[in-house]
Structure 1
């Protein structure tokens, strides 16, 4: 994968069917403009954190569910050209109204810096958002490489770590605010693929049981782990399967 548009949005739980309908219609437009794949996942295990979390990131209300999604493009120029062209595409204007508050959706463009495993067939995803000092990019990629065997051996099917390249500032919400990014830090958008939630939960329990070893790894992370947030999501639309 060369480039992706990552998005997080708050969707009223009652609007799940409408959201899926909207995503299905939108994919046809994205595909016509060169998108290679789109994945939409629905939050099913979204914890509240002490400092940051997905709920705060999009100011989610009690009756809303957090959606974590991405669109894959050939490269950044292709993505930039597509978004520019879609602004004046009548097909885009003809889409059904968004069944959520788009003013609270956050989005950005990200380039993968570490990938392992496949990209299809997942029944569950863990999604992550964090801020990494730009000077620590190589150290972060190295950490991801060191951590992957542990996740793979625990049953993970694949992972993607994507480095922010075009992450805009929003008037109300954005990725920078979400992770309290400081000057000189880049937002990272990533996910781990699992066969299902049970596999992920079992693996998490085993890794947590390693307590002391995990704590040592946390202390050595080349970023502030207290500002990282993550959650579990089930796919509701995947153009690769559709």
Structure 2
């Protein structure tokens, strides 16, 4: 199945166009080395949480916006080879020196796909989600995702993707585990829901929350789940 490299970044709101241009310039470079799809989405409906949230995950400042983005690869071997090639490419240094955000607070990692339900295409809106799930509950989580994904699709979503932490490093300042306050024995789930538009997303969530099939016990601590709505700014 598809292998995912996920990222969460805090970008100054004033640097939105500079960030989009930086990502667009990097797109050809990463695809040259093996990335099959690159998606960048800009925070639009990202709420503050009581325990965890996207802003806390990357220590966002008041003037910063959250970017939720990912690379898709056919498998981990391709991803590992891609990273090796990129790090040895002299063009990488130039791109790294011109980032319009604080890279020290960027969180990233590799994830294996658990579920990919939907049709390919460019979404008009994306819900991004991070969850800490006990490793022992992996099959229970997959079973739950396999039940809920079709419901989201029934109510308007075009694609639902669930991925499981595989190569997620600890960071010096921020990382995925700290983002969701993961404890020993827990793995990070990086997932997203693609929608045709924000209007479809809002209507879809209203139907999903009213659907009696959505009443179930969660195999994870829902209070530490991070979520938010994002508008795509690049999809190649």
Q: Matched residues in 2 for 1:198 and 1:108: separation?
A: 31
Question: What corresponds to 2:233 in structure 1?
Answer: 236
C-alpha distance after superposition, 1:187-230 (max 9, x if no partner): 010001101111111122233345x764x42xx11111111110
For structure 2, the 5+ residue unaligned runs are none
Q: Matched residues in 2 for 1:71 and 1:136: separation?
A: 26
Paired residue secondary structure (2:200) = helix
Question: What corresponds to 2:114 in structure 1?
Answer: 113
Q: Which runs of 4+ in 1 moved over 4 A?
A: none
Tell whether the 8 Å contact from 2:117 to 2:150 is kept in structure 1 after alignment: no
Q: 124-133 or 89-98, which moves further after superposition?
A: 89-98
Question: What corresponds to 1:55 in structure 2?
Answer: 55
* Count of residues paired in the alignment: 235
1:136-151 alignment to 2 at 5 Å? 136-151=137-152
Q: Matched residues in 2 for 1:201 and 1:143: separation?
A: 22
Q: Matched residues in 1 for 2:137 and 2:173: separation?
A: 28
Question: What corresponds to 2:153 in structure 1?
Answer: 152
Output the TM-score relative to the length of structure 1. Answer: 0.93
**Displacement of 1:149:** 2.4
Paired residue secondary structure (2:184) = coil
Q: Matched residues in 1 for 2:213 and 2:84: separation?
A: 47
Cα RMSD after superposing both structures: 1.4
Q: Matched residues in 1 for 2:112 and 2:208: separation?
A: 28
Q: Matched residues in 2 for 1:119 and 1:168: separation?
A: 29
Question: What corresponds to 1:69 in structure 2?
Answer: 69
Tell whether the 8 Å contact from 1:26 to 1:92 is kept in structure 2 after alignment: no
